[in-house]
Structure 1
């Protein structure tokens, strides 16, 4: 089977992608800052990166950080992939990076452009936000006795395992360029998602919707990060929290 390198292979998505690819019979190399034998900070590159891509046929690029450095990291990865003769680079991006003027989204869009212009065979998949990101957001917002939410926002969360399955499928095939977006099964108001979270955690919080302002908020409120026409996900947010939160409380 194919030898595949997964960057960010110990992260939320990369770990599941690696597991799925191995289950499908592929040889998988995991690259992250601390995973031996390919412990690499992609922002710096280096000889270990060259060793990681040597003999690899496909790279699934999941490594990313809102803290910055994604463009430098991807440039190093592309250069190493060219030297090694990698035939296929698969990249995971976010729905709305070309519509929402958030700094991190702009960076993801710039990375897309680097990959498209790399000279490598490439595949690009955009998805909506993962269920676990919403849980982490609500964990933070629910710390005070009043849970304040940005007014008028909706979201379309998707199950990370479903995205990993699609990425594994794409990695096993040839370069497909930009493929159809993946959205979660439901477009929901932020308030309804927060109430689902509160019920699952057993917390009692008063919810206050706070109007915000600015181009980024306007783009989110306008649904620039949603893909209602691509609601291909199966697992709902209720089903996710029932396993992740309620199941954990019973264990």
Structure 2
């Protein structure tokens, strides 16, 4: 079996990728800023990165931060992977990074290009937003008595465990380049997702749709972050809500 390093291996996605790879019999190392023995901050290129990559054949790069630093981290990782003779670099990206002019998306696109130009064997998978992230956003918005939503926005959330399974399968295979996008089973209005979340959590909030302005908002309204032709995920938002909160099974589609 392959020796594999998972960056961000303690995160929402990386933890599940690690579990799946180990279940499949692979030797897996977890690289994270605070998890020995491979506690490395990729952004700082500190000591330990070369040791973490020693003897590794494949790297699954899940580490990321919307607060910045992804490009610097990827540059350090690619350089170290070259030194170590890594054969396969697998990267998880986001559907729409080439269509939505959002700062975090642009950074993810820049990392994609670094991976493609790394000189290593590579695979890039783009996925739509995870159920977890949608709920995280709604939790923040629902803190006020009124729940404001950007008007006209749809989403296509996908179950993170399904993305982890796909990444693990790609890591176990040969470099495949840019593979087909992975989207959730349904394209939903953000309002319908919000109302399903409120029902599942027993919260009562007035929902107000707020029109916004700008290129990024327009790109989201036009569905640049969606992959309706790649609705290959099976886990629905209501099923996720039921598992997490014990409700949401009667949520309506919208």
TM over 0.5: yes
Instruction: Give the structure 1 partner of residue 43 of structure 2.
Output: 43
SS in 1 for 2:43: coil
Instruction: Give the structure 2 partner of residue 221 of structure 1.
Output: 221
Partners in 1 of 2:237 and 2:162 — Cα distance?
Answer: 13
Instruction: Give the structure 1 partner of residue 81 of structure 2.
Output: 81
SS in 2 for 1:75: helix
Instruction: Give the structure 1 partner of residue 72 of structure 2.
Output: 72
Deviation by residue 1:118-176 (Cα, 9 ceiling, x = unmatched): 00000000000000001111101111111010000000000000000000000000100
Q: Say if 2:58 and 2:86, in contact at 8 Å, map to a contact too.
A: yes
Instruction: Give the structure 2 partner of residue 208 of structure 1.
Output: 208
Q: After TM superposition, which residue ranges in structure 1, 4 or more long, deviate above 3 angstroms? A: none
The farther-off stretch of 45-54 and 11-20 is 45-54
1:106 Cα offset (Å): 0.3
Deviation by residue 1:195-242 (Cα, 9 ceiling, x = unmatched): 000000000111000000100000000000000000000000000000
Partners in 2 of 1:64 and 1:143 — Cα distance?
Answer: 26
Instruction: Give the structure 2 partner of residue 231 of structure 1.
Output: 231
Partners in 2 of 1:2 and 1:74 — Cα distance?
Answer: 22
Q: TM-score, normalised by structure 2?
A: 0.96
1:47 Cα offset (Å): 3.0
Instruction: Give the structure 1 partner of residue 149 of structure 2.
Output: 149
Give 5+ residue unaligned stretches, structure 1. Answer: none
Instruction: Give the structure 2 partner of residue 131 of structure 1.
Output: 131
Alignment of 1:95-244 (within 5 A): 95-244=95-244
Instruction: Give the structure 2 partner of residue 12 of structure 1.
Output: 12
RMSD: 0.6
Q: TM-score, normalised by structure 1?
A: 0.98
Partners in 2 of 1:110 and 1:91 — Cα distance?
Answer: 12
